[in-house]
Amino acid sequence: MRLGAQMSAAGGLYKAFERGEEAGCESMLVFTKSNRQWNAKPVTEEDVKLYHEAAEKYAHIHPVAVHASYLINIASPDAALWEKSYLALKDEVKRAAAFDIPLLTFHPGSYMSGGVESGMDLIALGLKRVLVETAESAPNVTVCVETMAGQGTNIGFSFEQLAYILSQAGPHERLGVCFDTCHVFSAGYDIRTPETYAATIAAFDQTIGLDKIKCFHLNDSKHEMGSNKDRHEHIGEGHIGKEGFASFVNDPRWAGFPAHLETPKTEKSEDGSEIEMDPVNLKTLRDLVRS
């Protein structure tokens, strides 16, 4: 795996590379805009120029993946919110393309006052439409539906739900899945031991197909398996444990795949100072790799 973390783009997306280098990233996850706002500044030629200069300087950090805004909800039964969410997703895809970033991950959404079946159909509708409408503007961007924990009315926590969405929206070469370890575990899939890991991956393969996995989010879980709670923990300090992550980082099927931390950024030391935790979590993962 090409291990990395979610890096801040404060001050310009190009600055994420230097931060990634300091953290020890081989790949990285970024936002191209504020993840909590609908509006975004247009991508300028200068933005792209600075990004490509940094990408060339830090060429060993690749691939880069974009995480779309958390506000997007293309499962919403509210027509106005659905359209607003769809246009935001389309803009995210086009922004990724502007920087030549090959992967974009997004949360499929929540059905809210609607039903799960209609919510899945709405997600598939949005995906199908965005793939068509960005065919020329973003031909090299793969849109990845993220596995979810099942909190509230969130959709995408079962492999069957993801399989249905992908089948209704595709098949399409620009459509994939981002496998989040905390979310999958919280949704009720055991990945704590080599045996349960193998069974869960086999179930994913049978239901969806391993070829759909394009990237990973490696996060431990603050809560127990099947809790449906989306709370990330440092690697090895949650309910998944180090043995579970050892299965991922030593699986030859994932060689070269980008895998990104979304774990807490800092911790307080005994003297009250802050410890940067991305390097610590990345070292924990690398120490699990068997020679």
Query: Of these residues, 36, 45, 270, 290, which one is catalytic?
Result: 36
**Active-site residue, 223 included:** no
Query: Of these residues, 47, 92, 180, 278, which one is catalytic?
Result: 180
Tokens representing residue 118 in the block = 């209609």
Query: Of these residues, 47, 91, 92, 146, which one is catalytic?
Result: 146
**Active-site residue, 262 included:** yes
pLDDT of residue 144: 98
Q: Which percentage of the chain shows pLDDT scores above 70?
A: 100
Q: How far apart are CA 35 and CA 20, in angstroms?
A: 19
Phi, psi of 44 (to 5 degrees): -100, 165
The topology (CATH level 3) of 2-287 is TIM Barrel (3.20.20)
Name the residue among 213, 277, 282 with its Cα closest to residue 251. Answer: 213
pLDDT of residue 270: 86
Tell me the CA distances in angstroms from 47 to 11, 12, 41, 118, one per residue in order: 11, 7, 11, 39
Q: Which residues fall within 8 angstroms of residue 227, CB to CB, at 6 or more apart? A: 149, 186, 221
**Active-site residue, 70 included:** yes
| Average pLDDT over every residue of 27-45 | 94
pLDDT digits (tens, 9 = 90+) for 137-160: 999 999 999 999 999 999 999 999
Query: Of these residues, 2, 67, 192, 260, which one is catalytic?
Result: 67
| Average pLDDT over every residue of 24-50 | 95
